Structure 1
Amino acid sequence: MIKTAICDDEPKTRAYLSSLIQAQPFPCEIAEYASAGEYLADQKEIDLLFLDIELDPDDSGSDGMALARKIREGGSAVQPVIIFVTGYEQYVFDAFDVGAFHYLVKPVDEGKFAGVFARAAEQVMTGWKVPQRARPLVLSFAGTNKVVPLDSIYYIESSNHKAVLHMKDGEFACYMKIRDLELELQEHFFRIHKGYLVNLSYVSGYSKTEVTLTNGERLLLSKYKYPDFTKAYLRFLKKGAGL
């Protein structure tokens, strides 16, 4: 049983999110709160929290972000997976600063919700740890900005003077040098070849000549990169395991 909670001051939003949760193929217990004060007063153990960033401050003076910080700073042995629900993407940076698992933009799409919920449920069932703060990428292309969470990227490919992001929901290309991305993402990604920068979280195996990702794709591993890759991957695994 996944203990879920919705904290949003809009009754219609709470009802809609509750219906989406009930439609998922996971047994869930659902609690609803209209304010940060209600959530904190209940003191119920929660596995998965859908939290409105623009939550109106109550008598406790806490909006959605302040509530998230109180939860993270509370020192509780059990920390909920937090998924922010927001009408504005501008808050995404603050969301990742409090170890949010993901964010959903209102009006919430049913298909997007199902995918995010499934991944969050897997985290709950395998044991959730508050992630280290990892800023998402903000990329510009054709006059528009795109906010890209790091956990949505399998790998980045250098192609025709562009960087092509191979993501869970498709591809995105931008005019950016892969070596600049390599510097920015060096804690989470590794350059296995002049043309590939892989997300170490999605490496499922490797040989001396290729790296296999969790989505089944196989990428060429340079023989010159192999020694450093194995060291970097081992450090990444140890760090993730808290060793």
Structure 2
Amino acid sequence: MKAELAANFDRGKNMGKIRTILVDDEPLALRGLKIRLDKFDDVEIIGTCSNGREAVKSIKEMKPDLVFLDIQMPGFDGFSVLRSLVGEAEIPLVVFVTAYDQYALDAFEAHALDYLLKPVDEERLAEALARVREAISQRVAIEQNAKLVELIEGMDEPSKEALTAILEKPVETHDQRFDPHLRIKDRGHITIVSVADVEYIDAAGDYMCIHVGEKTHILRETMKTMEKRLDPKIFQRIHRSTIVNLDKVREVKPHSNGECFLTLEGGTELKVSRSYKDVVGRFL
């Protein structure tokens, strides 16, 4: 298998760049897939999208050869993206990406070229790209997409009107759903802290210690209510009493005993509880 993959990889070098768009609502998943794809010389990532409506717009404007498309996205999933492309002169080859095995069958029924399970395995990724190269070299992309369009047109929900309404609805920003700032009251003074600057938060009873650079602010709050105020795509719990800003993580250190430590950009090292080790999988 590895020899066959290597042969396909070498063949791909002579085919020109495969213009690719990545679509996923999880920033870490996008980052991880991009890092893996950077190892393939013939893959050119021309764009990344964090939601379905953005994906439709980018695909129509940029006309990529290939799209790695997350199936399960809130509000407008991967299948809805494809339904919205029906009627387009060119639909790119599609490799579905999903965190759930239950969607694998749906991916095959949609005649996608291939599908990947999260966290993405490097050998499976290489196999998927081998299929992509084969499809391009044999010029079967048109036939492949004809099957895909036929399947999509047969789907009853959502209707074209519903899809149009979703596409035209303004994208909800983080500021609308989550707090962009934390207001820290101390002795009559209020300090406004940008959530994006927070490295991590740990609990001390009913108080939260907000760590921003070398400063620590104390806020009377419970862990449960704090989690609701923060964007889960950026802030994740790694311990029952610790929340970390994933954008501040600079190094992941797995240990032989199964434990793991995260090193933040300020140098702080945090232990990941075994109960939350799935968070680490997003970096790998």
TM-score, with structure 1 as normaliser: 0.48
Name the one with the larger helix percent: 2
Q: Which protein has greater RCO, CA pairs closer than 8 Å, 6+ apart?
A: 2
TM-score, with structure 2 as normaliser: 0.42
- Bigger Cα Rg: 2
